Structure 1
Amino acid sequence: MIKITDEDINYAEGILLKPGQNFDLERRLFIRNLCTIDLQAVPGSGKTTALLAKLLIIEKRLPLSENRGILVLSHTNAAIDEIKGRIGHHCPKLFSYPNFVGTIQSFVDTFLAIPAYVNKFKRKPVCIDNEIYSETIEKLFKYGKKGFKQQEKNNALYYNSNFNVLHTFRFSFGEGVFTLKKSINGNPLEIKTPSKKLKPFTSQELKRISEWLWITKMNVMEAGILHFDDAYALADVILYNIKGYKELIQKRFQYVFVDEMQDMEQHQFQLLETLFANDNSKSIYQRLGDVNQSIFPSSISTIDIWRQRKDKLFLKGSHRLSKPIANLVSKLSIAPSELEGRGLNNDGTEITIKPLLIIYDSKKVTEVIPTFSTKLNEYIKSGLVPDDKSNAFHAIGWRKNHDHDNKICLSDYHPDLKGLADKSEIDFETLEDYFHTHSNDDYTLANRRKSLLNAFVKILRIEGVKDEVARSFTITRMVRFIRLSRSNEYPIFNLNIYNWSVKLIDKDIKSIKSEIQKYIPDFLNLFNCELRHSADFVSNPAIYIPINNEEEEAVNYYDKDGFKINVGTVHSVKGQTHIATLYLETFFSTGYGSYESQRLRNQFIGTHISETIENHKGAGLEKIKQSAKMAYVGFSRPTHLLAFAVEESRFESFLKHLNKKEWDIIELKKTAVIDS
């Protein structure tokens, strides 16, 4: 057993903390602890930094006895990149075999899903990718299937056209067989007659629709195309078929650390529990997070999923939040959690800025963000708020857009708001889309080369070109095929990809598209194929064009006072630290009202959310909880200034009794702005 000393902690402090800073007693207790525990940590508590300190110290003891490893998991690639960026230089052993630092998805893919697939199909899957999966199942669903009559196919198509299950239904594996579910964590898929069909399906017809869906799903899997969710069904397969496989995983990893546990979905949580949480587990299993910050959709609340252990550690001191902000945030914590605001100015003095309440007439909704900017500028000039222009000031809300004029959402406060496409996608609708997947500050050839190669793989996939064992081509197999089977043409192909990658950096889009279009017939000829099905893909204009830096400033920022106010959803800023945050109430469904000012009326006047939940009668309880979690995350972003915007009729109805001594208030009336 590793024993962590004061000298070890001093070593970690020297790497992770600023000169003169030290880990307090709470954090030292956690750093020293190498038992199976839960850590409940408030926003800004330095939870991840404390974990990194523990990892730095363990690194000095590697390799462990019997060459066992360390497993470090989080939910997103960004979180893993932060870990690697902060300690990677100091921990070369931690980021190599037998250790594994990655996302929960990459862990499941590597250690469970891919081995399960190889064991079942005797080859590796082609890819695990949601976009390619959706494209493949859409195509295979419409193919005829052996043994089915045309009418049975029509019935399956009709069923899906009414219930739209094709892209959401999943395999579930239990007791040695696959069954169909509505979704990864949903109920069994119910095959029934659509209500508008005059003559109900017979039981045999319903059975055949189910079989059509099952065969379609299995055909996609047999083709080697997996949805991320399929990895979890395959994990169940290998744990069922290979007795003792779980114990092999435990033997591999002596210590398991899962950061941001509250972001794990039900199936992810359950798999980790199955692997590491049993009484006889050979692994030390530590789960870190804040149950109150679970805001991602789930059919079951994370508080119900993650039932924390009775013996757990707490980090209750927030070095991010000031006392005034912490006082408000603490009223919103559904799960038991003490919260102490310990945030200080750079000179060590206490931050005392009161939260700001902006009360606006509905006709003045577009003036809310400019008013916040003006007030923030006053604080900056007075020295109360740091003059930091880097991603420091945000205006956020729960819902971005709406479908009704009377439902206020982010796009009402900032009408030019636009969303950015997911740059992690590797599958797009047109050839030109593949030219627009890089940020302006990315000058690497490798990323552009990969995008171009993905475009050529897509062309082969649309044309239905398969490799020698009837699999869709991947980048690796495509390049290898050209190099080995078309060796005379390979230098030309390679040079073209290089030249086009260079031109992508220079944004010479028109020239690139023209040159690739001319080359594609020669490219397809390498595979004994002609341009047919992919003609539209090659010729159509781009659908996905990400906003460039200049446009982004104009649509997703407000810039008036010499600094930017970033505008986005609460989800988009989860995990971030701001200097100032404006929380904009937005419409979200109905139930005990439709806005945060209605559902959290008692918390604004000082009542803890637990008391509201305990005493609530009638409908809307889940909406209260959802709003509390969303506000908890949003309100806990800023270090110095928290502002909240409420429409004046809702203020008069629900918030007029709040303690005005604890708030600075600005009213945006129909005729003028009055600063009080």
Structure 2
Amino acid sequence: MLEITDEDITLAEAKLLPPGCSFDEERRAFIRSLYSCDVIACPGSGKTTALLAKLLILGKKVSFLKGGGICVLTHTNVAINEIKKRLGDEADKLLSYPNFFGTIQSFVDRYLASPCFIKLFNKRLTAIDTEYYLHKLTSECMASRARPWISKQVQGPGYDSPSDLLKKIQLDSSTLTFDLKPIKLANTTTITHIAITHACKKIFESGIISHRQAYNLAKYYLQNHPALDDLFSARFKFVLIDEMQDSYGHQIDILDALFSGPRSVVQKLGDPNQAIFSTPTDSEMEWRPRDGALTFSRSMRFGQNISTVASKVRTLRHIPLLGNDNVNSHKPHIITYNDFCMDCTIQSFGKLIRNLGLDEDASINNKVFKAIGWVGKQKETTCIPHYWQSYTPHKKNIAKFCSFRSYIKSYEGLHCGAHSPKIFQRLLYEGIANLVNRCNTAEGIPFTAHQFKNWLKTNNSELYLQINSTISQWFLEYLLGKSEDKIIDEATVLLDPLIAHCSDKGMALDFISSTTIDDACQQDFACNFVDCISDIQIEVGTVHSAKGETHTATLFLSTFYHKDDIKYITPFLLEKPVQRTMGVRLKSCIKISHVAMSRPTHLFAMACHENNIADYQSEFSDNGWVIVSVESLMT
């Protein structure tokens, strides 16, 4: 019988924890658990380490799984990389068949959407990518008799572009037919409806689909093959889902349909109080932990001064949030500004850091100081650029650029010349994958760079090694001043075996040789760093960009989303009576604020206009806050 013993846990502690440290009873209860359950883990709780310990132990007990495997699902590949990094050689076994480690999207694509598409159309999917799907659909629609109607709609106030309109079209999971009612085309007999429906079917049946359509295919597959849940339960005896709070409703539906039976142990880990990425609407609600959930209530990140504040601003407040007694966190601060000194707020935070001696504290390693807010886009109402005019919102790490040259250029533009061969290689593989998909190869090569690398390694190992070697050489030469033109010339020769299989060789060569530089690849993030006083630099960003990070000190910039953030959360901070049912906006602000408050180890501060707390200053002081003005800090 499968059992996890104290001896197993002790061995895992020796591998994963610093000398002399051990898991507390909350973590040990989770590691030992062999039944389906939910785990609510507070910020900085060491959830990932506890999960790694469990995986390390299960990996050594595979004989008890009777041929079944372990399925670990996440929302990003960060967790997978963490497993590889911290488990070393042990990770090779865990990441091999019959186990699956990957994102929920990659799981659905591989095991449900792709098999369903092959069964329906007797061919492979070409690309699962929303942006690429919309690009192809827009081109098809604008070349059809629907063009006049689409152009007219886009001229109105509701849509910025044709793709902005067309992305609202939905695929029915029961019939796999396209529903145009969301774009107000209910009459199926009109020329426009017929043209757009034809375009949707053409792109879809060609094997180019959006990420959401992959879930539609998955749901259709499950509905028409009800025995699949038994097969998956037999294949995966343990299913561990990390960061469950970031799951969307349609993802939860698929997972519940696959693993609802008693044959699989399903454990979901996350924190509903940090659900800032899932849809905040009542129609598609976020993860709701089941009764009897296990909890990680003590944070290893921050001390009691921060945990006291963060515990008040949560959507679920019945679970304790305890601080780390070994971390000396300062009292929380409110930095107030007036109409004339708002743009000095972040610099004043630097002065506060210096006054408290955080920048010179030798006991703190890897000091990180950040200023983060909710609204990053430029608006008339309060937003991050009002605090720091040079702020530039982060775009996706890698977009689908319009030319191969743009991927080379983005190494400096998006990554500030990070002197990282890994980043350089990743960018160029993204460019090659984009090339492969643009020219629509007959082999059905997977669309993502990661999938393409795996395909190439399996099907043409010689070319795979040659590309890797050449990219490494390009990196060194690029640092020494080699021009993009020379790299482009060599890339044309290097990638010729791929181009030879393209159905449109002209398009492939145009993509490689194009001199066009995509604007999106020339972003300089140096403008998001504020040099305050000597040796103190503060990075500026959104709360979303800081999710999962640990800072030494965090400044939460109050912004405006229908109301100032500070006005949303003041009743919670001062423990005043609040409405029992939270609206969508209030709930969103509470979660954003909680994520911001739980980033720092030593200092949390919030910046707001002095008028917004004028009536509550004494109450804030009575609740342990230190209120200080920008002007007093800067003098």
TM range (shorter): 0.7 to 0.9
- Conserved in 1, the CA contact under 8 Å of 2:279 and 2:286? no
Distance (Å, rounded) in 1 between the aligned partners of 2:446 and 2:332: 57
Equivalent pair of 1:556/1:568 in contact (CA under 8 Å): no
Percent identity, aligned pairs only, is: 29
Q: State the partner residue of 1:357.
A: 334
Asked whether the equivalents of residues 273 and 316 of structure 2 are also in contact (C-alpha less than 8 Å), the reply is yes
Which of the residues 407, 423, 430 maps onto 1:434?
Answer: 407
CA distance in 2, matches of 1:386, 1:560: 21
Distance 1:312 1:332 in 2: 21
* Residue 108 of structure 2: aligned partner: 108
CA drift at 1:160: 6.4
Q: Is structure 2 residue 299 aligned with structure 1 residue 318?
A: yes
Q: Which moved more, 1:432-441 or 1:514-523?
A: 514-523
> What does 1:273-352 align with in structure 2 at a 5 Å threshold?
273-277=256-260, 280-296=261-277, 298-300=279-281, 304-345=285-326, 351-352=328-329
Paired position in structure 2 for 1:597: 566
Distance 1:219 1:249 in 2: 32
* Cα distance in 2 between the residues matched to 1:451 and 1:92: 25
Match of 2:350 in 1: 373
Q: Which moved more, 1:44-53 or 1:375-384?
A: 375-384
Which AA in structure 1 matches 2:387? Y
Alignment deviations for residues 312-358 of structure 1 (CA, whole Å, 9 cap, x no partner): 1111112222111111111112124423333244xxxx525211111
Residue 416 of structure 1 pairs with residue 394 of structure 2: no
Confirm or deny: 8 A CA contact 2:555 2:605 kept in the other structure: yes
Alpha-carbon contact 1:46-1:319 (below 8 Å) kept: yes
Q: 2:134 — aligned with what? A: 134
Shift of 1:307: 2.4
Matched residues, number:
617
SS in 1 for 2:182: coil
**What is the CA distance between 1:92 and its match in structure 2?**
2.8
Q: Does 1:395 align with 2:371?
A: yes
Spell out, residue by residue over 1:621-664, the C-alpha distance to the aligned partner (whole angstroms, 9 max, x if none). 33222211111111011111111111111121455532346122
Matches within 5 A, 1:585-624: 585-588=558-561, 590=562, 594-607=563-576, 611-614=577-580, 621-624=583-586
The amino acid across from 2:165 in the alignment is V
Tell me, in whole angstroms, the C-alpha distance in 2 between the residues paired with 1:210 and 1:341.
Answer: 57
What pairs up with 1:263-662 in 2 under 5 angstroms?
Answer: 263-277=246-260, 280-296=261-277, 298-300=279-281, 304-345=285-326, 351-380=328-357, 386-390=363-367, 392-404=368-380, 407-425=381-399, 427-438=400-411, 439=415, 440-444=418-422, 446-447=425-426, 450-451=429-430, 453-454=432-433, 456-457=435-436, 461=438, 467=441, 503-504=477-478, 506=480, 508-512=482-486, 515=489, 534=510, 538-547=514-523, 552-588=525-561, 590=562, 594-607=563-576, 611-614=577-580, 621-660=583-622, 662=624
Report deviation, 1:236: 1.3
Q: Measure, in 1, the Cα distance between the counterparts of 2:304 and 2:623.
A: 15
Q: Distance in 1 between matches of 2:452 and 2:126?
A: 10
8 Å CA contact retained: 1:40, 1:337: no
Q: Distance in 1 between matches of 2:177 and 2:616?
A: 49
Larger Rg: 1
Q: Is the 8 A contact 2:392 2:527 kept in 1?
A: no
Distance 1:660 1:366, change over 3 A: farther
> What TM-score, normalized by structure 1, do the two folds share?
0.81
Question: Counterparts of 1:138-217 in structure 2 under 5 Å?
Answer: 138-144=138-144, 150=145, 154-155=148-149, 158=152, 164-174=164-174, 177-180=175-178, 189=182, 191-192=184-185, 203=187, 205-206=189-190, 208-217=191-200
Partner Cα separation in structure 2 for residue 470 and residue 668 of structure 1: 59
> Residue 543 of structure 1 aligns to which amino acid in structure 2?
D
**Distance in 1 (alpha carbons) for counterparts of 2:471 and 2:554:** 45
Structure 2 letter corresponding to 1:30: F
The secondary structure found in structure 2 opposite 1:441 is: coil
Task: Tell me the residue number matched to 1:39.
Answer: 39
Q: Which amino acid aligns with 1:250?
A: S
1:590-613: CA deviation from partner (whole Å, max 9, x where unpaired): 2xxx11211112122234xxx412
- In the TM superposition, what is the alpha-carbon distance from 1:181 to its structure 2 partner? 5.3
How far residue 520 of structure 1 moved from its aligned partner, in angstroms, is 12
Alpha-carbon distance in structure 2 between the residues aligned to 1:87 and 1:493: 29
* Offset of residue 70 of structure 1: 0.4
SS at match of 1:51: helix
Task: Indicate the RMSD between aligned Cα atoms, in angstroms.
Answer: 3.8
CA gap 1:477/1:140 in 2 versus in 1, 3 angstroms: farther
2: CA distance, partners of 1:511 / 1:254: 53
> Residues 445-480 of structure 1, C-alpha deviation per residue, up to 9 Å, x if partnerless?
75465245346436xx3xxx5556899999999999
Superposition deviation, residue 560 in structure 1? 2.8
Name the SS for the 1:662 alignment partner: coil
Per-residue CA deviations over 1:515-572 (Å, capped at 9, x if unaligned) read 379979999899785579948981323423345xxx5344334453303212110001
Shift in alpha-carbon separation, 1:295–1:352, aligned structure 2, 3 A: closer
Point out where structure 2 has 5 or more consecutive residues left out of the alignment: none
SS in 2 for 1:362: coil
Q: Distance in 2 between matches of 1:374 and 1:172?
A: 56
* Shift of residue 289, structure 1, vs aligned partner: 0.8
- Cα distance, 1:359–1:473 mapped onto 2, change above 3 Å: closer
Native 8 Å contact 2:372 2:554 kept in 1: yes
Decide whether aligned partners of structure 1 residues 367 and 125 sit closer, same or farther in structure 2, where only a CA change above 3 A counts: same
Asked whether 1:241 is paired with 2:239, we answer: no
Counterpart pick for 2:234 among 251, 255, 258: 251
Output the TM-score relative to the length of structure 2.
0.86
Separation in 2, partners of 1:493, 1:112: 32
- The CA distance in 1 between the partners of 2:328 and 2:44, in whole Å, is 15
Name the structure 2 match of 1:94: 94
